Structure 1
């Protein structure tokens, strides 16, 4: 990434305007706009993929940008990058108005970069969204900072180009902990395997039993996604709480399922499944194995 006062994207922009100032004026907006990694926290198993965006928020009349991000090449490999296509801010611009400057991946240095400018007086009036979208593959059980590099955001201010001051929110990738289920995997709370609608028993409390394996290298968090299959074959999902565990420790995680609210209180046998949520942080989880738990019944 170029750290001079005038970045390559600015050189291109001003060359099209036939004006090359010494530096673009820096604008201090009320409520500083942000360039951030979204989501901030990420987790994935070795060999699996996940997606992050470099997002912009709080800028009006965006006309050019230059952003990059660094990562740990022992943990991650960037497989693709979308700088100007669907899902990005410049992807909303009229055809022919985008001039690409850079859209690159360097898995040796551990950097990606996107930069471009809009031509013909086109601007993004309200720029809140993804500047670029990166697909990563996890290479091993390692962590990685996702660090935004020298963002250059250019908007049109009073008819001329100005560089917008931004704050930066970096991201993190963490390898998820190794969890397992404990028999009977998942069931209802004691005394709730048969629910009677006429008694006002319109919800059921669910439980799952999980453990962080004893030989785990670090502590972590875990939970489950409960999948409930009603007698008609309809599926419903609810997520449990997320519990912290040291290696070798177990936890009981819970959730509540609204029988009447979800399917009107259909009577019969309900099947119960649970999918592990393996979380290095409570807000960053990777899904694990799915097992069947104990069924429960609903009576009129």
Structure 2
């Protein structure tokens, strides 16, 4: 049985990789060997979709696809290229720290008007203004998984009035109640800040539509560090152009956001180019995940973060 592992981090730079596997570095260039011999495919990070999926249909001996992203919607959309019986695993936990940091950064920067101060600095203008603080705000986190929980960790020191947690299904955690998605319409009008941290699924695609946005209170801030298609772009544009809502977006639909798109110049909108994950926090956490998963693979132990098995 094939034991080749393709990974986008040079294997010699990762301490603790288990013996008994043949490691190859592949980050989107020429194939390092015969794709048919690859048993574990670690998908290159931050590469175009056509690069990430290019070897899949030739990987006839494949047993595991390990992404380095929390979301796997791009891979699941291309599973027709993959033979049955392959486990698809995501990188749950790898991006919690970095993405939660960015969620807090976008929230604070938008509330405190940092983009306007940056523009004033570029023009040499000293222009102060009164801005809302994060303190005493009600924050709703939509998508209360590992990243949502990490966001709440970082909100704790900022004296927020209340954190409302919402997920697909309701439950109780050590922190308190997680409300089910069905209760969202009643919860939205109370939130000053709504942070989207949900995966992109059939259920969440277009979830933030005109009706959703209309339920948000006047002056509320929408922060999206999830996936662009969770939000109806036209509906959001209507709200921000009217000045009723503001938004801070690390992801957009379409993405990349093309030049000249009205979101670029919409009032009250802060945009970052999908940089929630790529920071110095990524590499050590990705390496720890790979060492753990590959050790489990060699020892025939259950893998972590299995999203699905093809053909099941």
Please report the TM-score for the alignment, with normalisation by the length of structure 2.
0.20
Give the strand-richer structure, 1 or 2: 1
Provide TM-score, normalisation by structure 1: 0.21
Query: Which has the larger share of helix?
Result: 2
Whose radius of gyration is greater, 1 or 2? 1
